[in-house]
Amino acid sequence: MAIGREDVEILKPRIDKREYRRIVLRNSLQVLLISDLDTDKCAASMNVGVGSFCDPDGLEGLAHFFGSTNAFTASEMTNYFFDVNTGCFEEALDRFAQFFIKPLMSADATMREIKAVDFENQKNQHYSLSMNSQRNKSLTNMIDSSKW
């Protein structure tokens, strides 16, 4: 599965007893493997270099549309993740991979996600208005106090 293992130094705190290894897959995906014998969970995460700054005009929320449950969207990237009990990891990892290989875009799921994105956008607009108002108030106070 892996075509190469690039020797890179992975820096970690001295108290970190986990083992780390970096590999590169045939499709050029870079993978960081972390082994922790003291846990009963397995997890995976995939980071994609596309975030909300990449949304086309008129399709705000598109990046979030493809990353909301067990994921988060930032301005320049989206991260997908999951964790399961150790005995279920291989099956869960295959399901996780299928999301990227052949996502199921059923009409019901698409409509639910559109509503969720719209709801979050409406909530964020209110937050943005409050933040803008607070910023403007602060700037006004700074300008007024600088006159005297």
Cβ neighbours for 88, distance < 8 A, ≥ 6 positions apart: 42
Asked if 7 contacts 20 with a C-beta cutoff of 8 angstroms, the reply is no
Mean pLDDT lowest among 89-93, 102-106, 118-122: 118-122
pLDDT of residue 13: 92
Dihedral angle sign, alpha carbons of residues 130, 132, 134, 137: negative
Residue 16 has pLDDT above 90, yes or no: yes
DSSP 69: T
pLDDT of residue 146: 52
Task: Tell me which residue has tokens 């299928």.
Answer: 98
CA–CA distances in Å: residue 116 to residues 33, 110, 122, 138: 33, 10, 10, 33
Q: Can you give the pTM of this predicted structure? A: 0.62
Band (pLDDT 50/70/90 cuts) for residue 69 is low
Residue 135 has pLDDT above 90, yes or no: no
- Give pLDDT tens digits for 27-66: 888 888 899 999 999 998 888 888 778 777 877 766 666 5
Q: Cα separation of 63 and 79, whole Å?
A: 11
* Token pair belonging to 77: 């990237």
Task: Tell me which residue has tokens 């007024």.
Answer: 144
pLDDT of residue 17: 92
